[in-house]
Amino acid sequence: MFPPRRPYAIPLPEGRVLDLGARCLVMGILNVTPDSFAEGMHITDPAVAADAALAMEAAGADLIDVGGESTRPGAEPLAPDEELRRIVPVIARLAGRLRVPIAVDTYKAAVARAAVEAGAVIVNDISGLRFDPELGRVVAGSGAAMVLMHSRGQPGTLHAEAVYSDMMREMTSELEGSVRRATDCGVPVERIIIDPGIGFAKRAPHSYGVLARLPDLASALDRPVLVGPSRKSFLRDAVSGRTAPERDWGTAAAVTAAVLAGAHVVRVHAVAEMAQVVRVAEQIRSHGHQP
């Protein structure tokens, strides 16, 4: 028997609703950056990026997550003006062309404000509102939904912060703190999605533990769960040290585990392949509830 996946209706701007729970949704990653850790190629031209997003939608993406700053361990912080220069033209090109919702992957209030004005309807914050307190107020005023990810420290200190006495208890408590920060800023809890932050301030055993105990997190926080295992370094030892673009088979296993554990959304690079993985995993889930 697989754990149940509770349904949620996430309000979005202009009266739209993101229905989560009937099946796991696929979020396609669109990095508009010259230094992403995971792609074999880097997209910086807005027209090329927009075409890539449309191709993801055609391949089965239910959401597109646009990011302009690499958050790999050790990455240098990006100035807001440069982040805006990279992503706003892409989001503006996609608004009205994509049928699926657009998310912006940023922890900066100024960037989120401009992205939502350009057409994004979800703000995906890797810091869980630890980096920029104003971000919560921007989201609250915009009507956008919000993904709050668990992490500790800064991108340059993530590995050193991966010390836990009881990882699930501590992670749950810290995510509860992020939810409180958001609601204190005026973000309705109904608009919040949580992300356990695989690979962020977590060593490989921690990340595997998150996948194994995902139902505990969902139950404790009573919010929909987004999981992002795609091509991350925790897979490296299990797949003989392959580089990030070569880790899609390992990603497929992690995505399957996430779906079976009840994830509402998986965030992936290889949309066409992982959409197939999700569909098969959903079939397995559906038969797990039958006698």
Q: Catalogue the active-site residues.
A: 232, 267
C-alpha–C-alpha distance, residues 269 and 263, integer Å: 17
Backbone angles phi, psi at 154, to 5 degrees: -115, 165
Packing angle of the helix pair 46-59, 80-94 (nearest 10 deg): 50
First to last CA, the chain: 10
Which helix (H) or strand (E) segment is 124 a member of? strand 122-125
Backbone angles phi, psi at 122, to 5 degrees: -135, 135
For residues 87 and 33, is the Cβ–Cβ distance under 8 A?
no
CA-CA-CA-CA dihedral for 216, 217, 223, 226, to nearest 10: -120
Report DSSP letters for 190-248, one per residue.
GGEEEE--TTSS--HHHHHHHHHTHHHHHHHH-S-BEE--TT-GGGTGGGTT--GGG-H
For residue 75, give the DSSP letter: P
For residues 267 and 194, is the Cβ–Cβ distance under 8 A?
no
Backbone angles phi, psi at 26, to 5 degrees: -105, 120
The two tokens of residue 147 are 């993904």
C-alpha–C-alpha distance, residues 287 and 15, integer Å: 35
